[in-house]
Amino acid sequence: MAVEVSYVLITPYSLVKSRTGGILSRLLSRTDLELIGAQMLAFDKEHTDAYAQELEDSLKDANGKLLADYVRENFRCHDDGRRERTFMLLFKGENACAKLTQVVGRLSHRSPRDFHIAESIRDTYADMVEDRDNPEMIRYFEPALLTPPNFNDAIPKLRMLAEFAAKCPNIIDNSVGGTPGDERTLVIIKPENWRAPSSRPGAVIDMLSRTGLRIVGCKVYRMSVADALEFYGPVQNALRGKLAPKIGEKAFELLKEQYKIEIPESSKALLTEAVGIPFADDQFAKIIEFMSGRNPMTTPVEKRAEQGAAQCLVLIYEGKDAVAKIRSVLGPTDPGKAPGGTVRRDFGSDVMVNTAHASDSHESFMRETAVVKIMDNHMAAKALDFLASF
């Protein structure tokens, strides 16, 4: 079976209705495909019309016309400059187009009285309601998401979308729903959520959606050792301040117990320096290795800037009091101390393997987005590199 790259576009309406998490959960857990890219897009009129025309030309039936008209109506920016958000996901794997099409499901007519078993994503989130008296007339249409049915159909659309995405900023300004004074915050869905096909990343996004915030930026990210060292740099001193004295105290008591001798109290400071600090630094190194997939102690300095081996998903949320709202739903760093119903309580294991990171202030947001190079998104380059041989 051939390895393919294909895409899914989550519609603006699905984003507004906070269906992103549920959709992503099914895409990840019901296929064995790898998510290799993600980007929020804001279509202008030119690219809206071009994509709609591709749909109409390739799907030479009523559904093609219906989808094309839907895109023309719902994807383009508004006359006042406000921009609709569309979420593009890029998947890679054997027979990617067929697998995505099966999970997404096909468009099907239904009457207002129909009951439908929700097997596919569209069964759950899409609607194509026909008029009761005139089945030829569609009263309401929402496809929820779009994906090409086969690889030949995918090639021109994927190339068009990738070329457009390459020119787009990675954070959408002036999106529909935005208000003056909106705040932004950064979320990283951590590596433990990506080690096997799972609904966890989508479930985390679904829980965060209760904040009412909008996702205005996104990227699939593999943190380098250098980036991880810079990102978590402030944590090293915090660990030294918190852990080193405790380890020094414990070493002091153990030595007294082991050798049955009196040790001067002044020795605690020496033990803190000799044992506590190395212990804290070892814990810091484990955080770096967890986030980058590489041990910083054994990674040569000249290779620390290379792309890491552990995958994350970076999301930018926007809205009123974004920092506080996200951290409230995320819960405390220690999952054992997090209240029920928070992300870390439901999915975290310990202080390090705690599902997600979120900025704790506007200053942290500014620093962290700079470290992860939020405006650099390689999704388009990955798609175009794959398409270069076609």
Report which of residues 135 and 336 the model is more confident about.
336
CATH numbers and ranges of domains, the chain: 3-170+378-387 (3.30.70.141), 228-303 (no CATH)
135 pLDDT band (50/70/90 cuts)?
low
Query: What is the predicted pLDDT for the residue at 114?
Result: 55
Instruction: Supply the mean pLDDT for the chain.
Output: 93
Mean pLDDT throughout 15-26? 97
Q: Can you tell me the mean pLDDT for 279-304?
A: 96
Within 8 A by CB and 6+ apart from 230, the residues are 371
Give the pLDDT of residue 113. Answer: 52
Dihedral pair phi/psi, residue 288, rounded to 5°: -60, -45
Q: Write out pLDDT tens, residues 343-386.
A: 999 999 988 899 999 999 999 999 999 999 999 999 999 999 99
Region 152-171 average pLDDT: 97
> How confident is the model at residue 305, as a pLDDT?
97
| Angle, vertex CA 50, rays to CA 48 and CA 52, nearest 5 | 65
Q: Which residues lie below 8 Å from residue 65, measured CB to CB, with a gap of 6+?
A: 56
Tokens of 281: 């630094």
Cβ(315)–Cβ(185) below 8 Å: no
Question: Residue 341: which H helix or E strand, with range?
Answer: none
Q: Which two tokens stand for residue 357?
A: 């990171």
Q: What is the pTM of this model?
A: 0.94
How many angstroms separate the CA atoms of 225 and 116, rounded? 49
Alpha-carbon distance of 333 to 320, in angstroms, equals: 23
How far is CA 45 from each of CA 49, 52, 114, 171, rounded to the nearest angstrom? 6, 10, 36, 19
Give me the amino acid identity at 28: L
Q: How confident is the model at residue 132 (pLDDT cuts 50, 70, 90)?
A: confident
Q: Tens of pLDDT along 89-105? A: 999 999 999 999 999 99
